[in-house]
Amino acid sequence: MDEKTLNSLILPRHIGFIMDGNGRWATARGLERAQGHKAGAQVFRSISTYCAKLGIESATFYAFSTENWKRPENEVNALMKLFKEFLEEAQAREEENEEIGFHIKFAGDTANMPEELVSLFDICEKRSADKTGTTVNVAVNYGGRAEITNAVRSIARKALNGEIAVDDIDENTVSSFLYTAGQPDPDLIIRTGGESRISNFLIWQSAYSEFYFTDVLWPDFTTDDLDRAIIDFCSRNRRFGAV
Ligand code: IPE
Ligand code: IPE
Ligand code: MG
């Protein structure tokens, strides 16, 4: 996006990406589905870098849902391997990522995830914790319902311990127990791959999000496609229930 256009827009503070279509992209090329995920990982890299360049505050990337465990074992294993490689590479590129200013955060349930992966995420989070550029939430083993259920459990525990009064529990309390605590709710949620559904992504946080669905498959998604989504978002009239 050119400087002039950029300066004329009020950008979304938080963008959510449902990175769908990797499998179909690969199949259409006679490749293994895992190859599609590999290509998708490259696009994740370029789009997150572009978000930082635009000055987007938060970007959440849906990489693996709590429901994706239903996939064939070899695909799940390939994805876990890819996440691991990706995190190792992020460490190797630490200087570059520091320069971009990424603050990397894991969003998801660490239970039943490979331990090695959990600790790699932990290292990435800690090393980038003081960065003030774009917060990149990587949603792995993420499900909106599981996230809310976990929040309810934590709040109930606090209530039982007498740390919080039941009548003091409000929407802010719930938000503060979600993975995105402290970040603005997503203004814009982009889903590639042609499906018009949310698939358990940020279901609490997206109460007033604007949705942008595109047929472009995630491995084909470019910074120009993101520009188009942002410009479309900027033309919308958000009323939040008012007139
Ligand atoms: C999205 O691409 C990535 C994950 C869900 C891990 P898909 O793998 O769902 O791709 P399609 O929808 O089958 O094309
Ligand atoms: C949503 O894609 C999850 C991710 C992009 C990680 P899916 O491909 O799993 O969604 P459904 O099954 O088509 O709803
Ligand atoms: Mg899919």
CA 162 to ligand 1 center in whole angstroms: 44
Cα dihedral 232, 233, 239, 243 in deg (nearest 10): -20
Q: Whose CA is nearest to atom 13 of ligand 1?
A: 23
Pocket test for ligand 1, best of 18, 19, 20, 67 (most atoms within 8 A of CB): 20
Domain count, the chain: 1
Q: Assess if residue 71 is contained within a domain.
A: yes
CA 219 to ligand 2 center in whole angstroms: 14
CATH of the domain at 54: 3.40.1180.10
What's the pLDDT band for 62 if we cut at 50, 70, 90? very high
Q: If you count DSSP H runs as helices and E runs as strands, how many of each does the chain have, helices first?
A: 9, 6
Range(s) of the domain holding residue 120 = 13-143+185-232
Predicted pLDDT at 21 = 98
What's the pLDDT band for 230 if we cut at 50, 70, 90? very high
Pocket test for ligand 2, best of 17, 20, 196 (most atoms within 8 A of CB): 20
Look at 100 and 168; give whichever has higher pLDDT: 168
CA 223 to ligand 2 center in whole angstroms: 22
Q: Assess if residue 130 is contained within a domain.
A: yes
* DSSP track, 40-88: HHHHHHHHHHHHHHHT-SEEEEEEEETTGGGS-HHHHHHHHHHHHHHHH
Query: pLDDT tens, 161-179?
Result: 999 999 999 999 999 999 9
Q: From the CB of 193, is ligand 1 less than 6 Å away?
A: yes
Assign 107 to helix, strand or coil. Answer: strand
Ligand nearest to the Cα of 199, by number = 2
* C-alpha closest to that of 140 among 86, 72, 56, 66: 66
Q: Assess if residue 151 is contained within a domain.
A: no
Predicted pLDDT at 111 = 93
Predicted pLDDT at 97 = 87
